[in-house]
Copies of this chain bind each other. A is one copy, B any other.
Amino acid sequence: MAQRKLTSTNTMNRDFLNNTCGMMYAIDMLNGRWALLILYKLENRTLRFSELKKRVPKITDRMLTLQLQELEKNGLVIRSVYAEVPPRVEYHLSESALNLIPIWKQLEKWGDAHKGTMENAMQSAV
C-alpha cells in the first residue's frame, strides 16, 4: 500500500511526543492540511462522504479518504457504514474530538483578531 500515512510522527517518535507534552501529541494528531477543516465541518452534524466533499473546497477524493482514515485512526472521527444499495457512509466526531471544539472556537477567534495584524507581514509572502 502506497501512502497510508498522511502525517504523524516522521521526525519525532512516539516516546518523544509523549514525554514532551500533550500539546505536541495533539499537534501530531491534528496535523495534515485538511484535518482541521474536516473536523470543523463536522462540528455539530453527521455528514456522508460526498456531503463532506462539497463542504471542503478543492479537496480531492483521495485526500478526503486519506485524511478521514487518519482521523478515524486517531480516534477523532467515527465512520459508520450502512449496507445499502447505493452504499452510504457517514462520519461524525468522536467524544475526544467534541472536546476540541471550544479550542477551535478560540483559535478561530484568534485568527479573526489577528488577520489584520498579519496582513502587512503576509504581503511579502506572496
> Chain B residues with Cβ under 8 A from A125's Cβ?
5, 8-9, 73
Known: A106-B102, A115-B18. Contact between A121 and B74, CB under 8 A? yes
Q: Does A85 contact B (CB under 8 A)?
A: no
On whether the beta carbons of B106 and A21 are closer than 8 Å, the reply is: no
Residue among A9, A11, A23 with max Cβ neighbours from chain B (10 Å): A23
Q: Does A25 contact B (CB under 8 A)?
A: yes
Q: Does A82 contact B (CB under 8 A)?
A: no
On whether the beta carbons of B36 and A27 are closer than 8 Å, the reply is: yes
CA gap between A46 and B10 in the complex, in Å:
28
Chain A residue total in the interface (Cβ 8 A) = 51
On whether the beta carbons of A58 and B96 are closer than 8 Å, the reply is: no
Q: List 10 A-B contacts (CB under 8 A).
A: A5-B125, A12-B57, A16-B58, A21-B112, A22-B113, A23-B36, A23-B111, A29-B118, A75-B114, A99-B114
A-side residues, CB < 8 A to B, are 5, 8-12, 14, 16, 18, 20-27, 29, 33, 36-37, 40, 57-58, 73-75, 96, 99-100, 102-104, 106-115, 117-118, 120-122, 124-126
